[in-house]
Structure 1
Amino acid sequence: MYKAITQSQIFVLDQDEALDFYVNKLGLELHTDQDLGFMRWLTVNVPGDPGRQILLEKPGPPAMNEAMAAQVRDMVTKGAMGGWLCISTDDAHKTYETLKARGVELTDEPTERPYGVDFGIRDPFGNAIRIGQMNTPA
């Protein structure tokens, strides 16, 4: 019945800052930056994988009224509303060192786990991101 998840969403408080972080620091690529009038549709994707996009959404219309948007912004600021992403890599240790050199906030170091090696980072808005080098299924 289903074929794929093509888009997911996380809240950001400043779309220009989010674009800079996700493209220039994290290394994703811009997919869409469209002014729809009522909102800015801003998506990024892993390079070479435009079929899976992340919407960097600023809380507000049309999804919510201003009172609700203010509450969501407050929750994001407190780190209580952060989204969660998991991105795979071929070399977790190298990716960790690259992001460290770029000044990305690292929440833990690469760690061996039953499923592979992964580590955590946080975007400027409190969203948690796991980056993992996954084991090949047996």
Structure 2
Amino acid sequence: MITTVAGVGVYVRDELAALEFYTNVLGFQPHTYDALGDYLDSPRWITVTPQEQPELELRLQNPLKWNGAEEGARMLATIGYSPLICLETKQLHEKMELWKERGVIFLSEPKEEDWGIQAVFQDLDGNKFCLVQQK
């Protein structure tokens, strides 16, 4: 039986730039950083977690470093087309304004729904996320 989802992979082109963005701009907590070699092109195991949900890790992965060139390129081509990850907040409008000041690109304005509010934004690589506030 599966009891939890422990992590979600997010394809990025530059893991260090992504780590900076997810921690210093979005406010995630750094969790794991393991360089698996001495060179910049070596794979890195980098994860971040939401502050209030440390058991769920987002794995920031450059697939070119973990796969062959052809497969890695195919995986990188899915950036921006992967499943939408939803991030929940209790203050959507305040979070959105703060993130805009920090350079986050929102692809939609907040939209009122029966269940709450949502707005879509993207990370440095064009991965799309939905910021949601439940009623």
TM-score by length of 1: 0.86
- The offset of 1:8, in angstroms, is 0.7
Aligned residue for 1:113?
A: 113
Is 1:5 equivalent to 2:5 in the alignment? yes
Is 1:58 equivalent to 2:58 in the alignment? no
Secondary structure class of the residue paired with 2:74:
helix
Distance verdict in 2 for CA 1:2–1:14, change over 3 Å: same
- Structure 1: 5+ residue runs without aligned partners? none
Secondary structure class of the residue paired with 1:108:
coil
Secondary structure class of the residue paired with 1:109:
coil
Is 1:19 equivalent to 2:23 in the alignment? no
- The offset of 1:39, in angstroms, is 2.0
**How many residue pairs are counted as aligned between the two chains?**
131
Aligned partners of 1:82 and 1:126 also within 8 Å: no
**Distance (whole Å) between structure 1 residues aligned to residue 9 and residue 76 of structure 2:** 15
**Distance (whole Å) between structure 2 residues aligned to residue 100 and residue 17 of structure 1:** 18
- Structure 2: 5+ residue runs without aligned partners? none
Superposition RMSD in Å: 1.7
Identity of aligned residues (%): 30
TM-score by length of 2: 0.87
Superimposed CA distance per residue, residues 59-95 of structure 1 (whole angstroms, 9 cap, x where no aligned partner): 1354x3112212333453xx4x445311100111111
Is 1:49 equivalent to 2:46 in the alignment? no
**Distance (whole Å) between structure 1 residues aligned to residue 65 and residue 16 of structure 2:** 18
